[in-house]
A and B are shown apart, each in its own frame.
Chain A
Amino acid sequence: MTANDEPAFRTDRATLARRLKTLLPAHCLLTDDEDLRPYECDGLTAFRQLPMAVCLPETEGQVIDVLRTCHQLGVPVVARGAGTGLSGGAMPHAEGVVLSLARFNKILRLDPLARLAVVQPGVRNLAVSEAAAPHGLYYAPDPSSQIACTLGGNVAENSGGVHCLKYGLTVHNVLRVRVVSIEGEVFEIGSEAPDSPGYDLLALMIGSEGMLGVVTEVTVRLVPKPELAQVVMASFDDVARAGDAVAAIIAAGIIPAGLEMMDKPATAAVEPFVKAGYDLDAEAILLCESDGTPEEVAEEIARVTAVLTASGARELRVSQSEAERLRFWAGRKAAFPAVGRITPDYYCMDGTIPRKRLAEMLSAIAAMEKKYGLRCANVFHAGDGNLHPLIMYDASQPGEIERAEAFGAEILELSVALGGSITGEHGVGVEKINQMCVQFATPELEAFHRVKAAFDDGGFLNPGKAVPSLHRCAEYGRMHVHRGELKFPELERF
């Protein structure tokens, strides 16, 4: 996974190990292959690479020392949180160091009156909400890996979750980050005030996939926990009709706390696993959550129910207790592991499309299932157009992994052609780097490289990820859909 015009790094392993040993105590440094093995991949296990060393610093001073030394020696650095990412963003570099922030695991301050928490990047997402719970507060972004994923990783990927239609992404919920540059310089971006002087560097840093700096502290906004949440489960005979129902909810002026869709293969995979009570005959089911004060929820649920009925839902159920609400959600939240039970391997995609193109996308995916001879289940953050097709394959069968990758690439390229994006929340990493060539033209890619150079001129931070070199795009040979002027002619059939 290296492009031949990306900077070629040649690291002397012995020198690197010797230098790192002078910076870190023995328990903070791994250099033997067997110790490095657990770090060879992140949540995207199809891409693996052993690094030369793993550093597990415990202080910001050690982070500075490691970065400064790597910069001096010309060694690539890949920052890593919990390694739950799904795009290979934390996959090590063969000539480089993995900088794990796992030991930066303290909540430094939680101010219930100001409604914010200052945390180290290795703190788990859910731990922030747990610490805030006694004050009636929580941290809103809730990626499905929230039990394990860390705030540092969330910042790197601009993570979302099932509630981001109403409560926003990481970029809407982070107030400040403290950053160490590749040269070992410390700077802070943002503050506890509502805005900061100068450019909005926070927007640039969040979602930058570890390419611009290493975050050592994050200040997040906490919000009051709604008094009540209730979910409506609706089943539909037709996915297009379910998609129209989502549009009708928005058109009625309702922004639900969560709005999720699963297609028939997804509910079929999930139901035996979690027994959520899904309608297995339905072509699609919708989960629509309302939260707020009891009065607000009652009013919104009544409106949602009316809209869904008018949109042709064949069955409607409203959760009558917190236990039932959690059971309705359990299937959606367990969709990935449930699919994992019915297939040896699966490949999760992350394209975003305008919602009105959903039916087109799903029928195209059905055609691709035949073309590649692989099955696909679809779960969908319907409210914000973020689709997660789960392509099922068996890596032990020759050719299947290649077919799965080609299937995924075709979905992503169709997402762009339909007016969407190759990634809604998982990041580009190594996984979608070729599809960046489809989403962006040369001038934008060049601008990204200039932005990168403003922070990391030598390209030492996470090389080979997130933004492809122009050479790679030329080799990949796919055409960028330039402002809608160039369309793939074969799209007509969808």
Chain B
Amino acid sequence: MQLDDIVAAVRAAHDSHTPLRIRGAGSKDFYGGLLAGDVLDVSGHRGIVAYEPTELYLTAKCGTPLADIEAALAEKNQMLAFEPPRFGGATLGGCIAAGLSGPRRQQAGAARDFVLGVRLVDGTGQVLDFGGQVMKNVAGYDVSRLLAGSLGTLGVLAEVTLKVLPKPVAEATQVFELDEHEAVARLNAWGGRPLPISASFWHDGRLWLRLSGAGAAVEAAQRALGGEVAVDAGKLWESVREQTHPAFASPVLWRLALPSTAPDAGLGTPAAVEWGGALRWYAGEQDAARGAAARLGGHAVLYRAPESLRCREGAFTALSPALLALHRSLKKAFDPKGLLNPGRLYAEF
């Protein structure tokens, strides 16, 4: 599959007013609004276009599996520092379109922070290049980062350039017996100290803390922080990243992004706490989740749920009228007929 095939498909849909549902591996079909439109399968547009380890960037076509990208990076001892979930066969396009980040986000930054450039096929079938392959580039509006998390509603992310980073020299994980309140308090206190904390995960009375950096720094932090050395830490972080850990098993799962110091949300004990206290997961139907998150200065995503519940609640917190108007204008700027992934982000567009 070539770029021209994607362009032709989008143009044809544009001419015939046919809504399109852009699909890579389909590993995140559960995420966001309900799926609608004819499937535009872009998984065949795959392959690494450029990888320059010493320039710290990698460019690949949207259908490239993350596994292929990470294998290429591993050969040069580098990584996708935002640790996106792979959920089996996830592709680069879907990874950036969904904008999800994994455990290392608390130290390294989110998916959007690593986007350097995007080749976009907009809703009219035009090919647009934004950003590039250099770290610093402030020419024009930063449309490439805008596309991270846009769920394909502004165009097909045909090709993406990401900043990549070296793998840390050393890693170690300490585990502590703590309730969630004490865990959040400690994580915030530690966060203000120059410690090489690269991930945190609390579940069921235990807090795992990953340290990454120079060997000596990791050892010094282990001594300073105490706790027990975790066994099988690699497997644990993998299960957090892929959400195969039992903490994420509930068929209804709420994701609350909050200020890291936010007090208890009043939704019972969280199923998991990540990102230094800023990401809290709650299982089961939670009528108060949206209100609680808003009151605490964050927002709640109905991350995983049966269709009926997703229909009723919407996946994402509603936007203020001013922001909704801006979203509509931007949608129109890139997809004037509103054909790409309609309703995947918000029912309104």
Contact of B166 among A164, A255, A448 (CB under 8 A): A255
- Asked if B200 CB lies within 8 Å of chain A CBs, one says no
User: Which listed segment binds A: B132-140, B173-181, B242-250?
Assistant: B132-140
Q: Known contacts being A169-B136, A356-B55, A425-B136, is A199 close to B334, with CB within 8 Å? A: no
Task: Produce 1/0 per residue, B45-72, CB < 8 A to A.
Answer: 0000000111110000000000000000
Q: Known contacts being A111-B261, A247-B54, A443-B126, is A451 close to B136, with CB within 8 Å? A: no
Contact B330 A451 (CB under 8 A): yes
Q: Known contacts being A204-B143, A432-B139, A444-B140, is A296 close to B214, with CB within 8 Å? A: yes
Contact A296 B213 (CB under 8 A): yes
- Asked if A135 CB lies within 8 Å of chain B CBs, one says yes
- Asked if A191 CB lies within 8 Å of chain B CBs, one says yes
Q: In whole angstroms, what is the CA distance A191 to B113 when docked?
A: 16
Q: In whole angstroms, what is the CA distance A232 to B210 when docked?
A: 30
Contact of A467 among B140, B150, B165 (CB under 8 A): B140
Segment 445-489 of A: residues with Cβ below 8 Å from B: 447-448, 450-455, 466-467, 483
CB of A104, distance to nearest CB on chain B (Å): 21
- Asked if B327 CB lies within 8 Å of chain A CBs, one says yes
Contact A292 B213 (CB under 8 A): yes
User: Which listed segment binds A: B8-16, B35-43, B184-192, B229-237?
Assistant: B184-192
Segment 292-307 of B: residues with Cβ below 8 Å from A: 297-299, 301
Q: In whole angstroms, what is the CA distance A357 to B217 when docked?
A: 35
- Asked if A157 CB lies within 8 Å of chain B CBs, one says yes
- Asked if A492 CB lies within 8 Å of chain B CBs, one says no
Contacts of B105 in A (CB 8 A): 194
Contact B134 A200 (CB under 8 A): no
Contact B258 A199 (CB under 8 A): no
- Asked if B149 CB lies within 8 Å of chain A CBs, one says yes
User: Which listed segment binds B: A24-32, A39-47, A222-230?
Assistant: A222-230
Contacts of B54 in A (CB 8 A): 247-248, 250-251, 355-356
- Asked if A420 CB lies within 8 Å of chain B CBs, one says yes
Contacts of A198 in B (CB 8 A): 316, 319, 323, 327, 345-346
Contact of B129 among A114, A424, A483 (CB under 8 A): A483
- Asked if A83 CB lies within 8 Å of chain B CBs, one says no
Q: Count residues on chain B whose CB falls below 8 Å from chain A CBs.
A: 87
Contacts of B322 in A (CB 8 A): 181, 185-187
Contacts of A158 in B (CB 8 A): 138, 142
Contact A448 B140 (CB under 8 A): yes
Contact B297 A354 (CB under 8 A): no
Q: In whole angstroms, what is the CA distance A311 to B62 when docked?
A: 37
Q: Known contacts being A135-B192, A168-B113, A296-B196, is A443 close to B128, with CB within 8 Å? A: yes
Contact of B143 among A157, A451, A455 (CB under 8 A): A451
B324 nearest in chain A by CB position: A198
User: Which listed segment binds B: A15-23, A317-325, A370-378, A379-387?
Assistant: A379-387
Q: Known contacts being A171-B142, A203-B146, is A193 close to B136, with CB within 8 Å? A: no
Task: Produce 1/0 per residue, A155-176, CB < 8 A to B.
Answer: 0011010001100110110000
Write 24 A-B pairs (CB below 8 A) sorted by A numbering. Answer: A114-B261, A136-B193, A158-B142, A187-B326, A193-B297, A195-B99, A200-B148, A201-B146, A204-B145, A207-B138, A226-B194, A247-B54, A248-B54, A250-B53, A250-B56, A255-B165, A296-B217, A386-B136, A419-B132, A421-B132, A436-B140, A439-B139, A451-B141, A454-B326
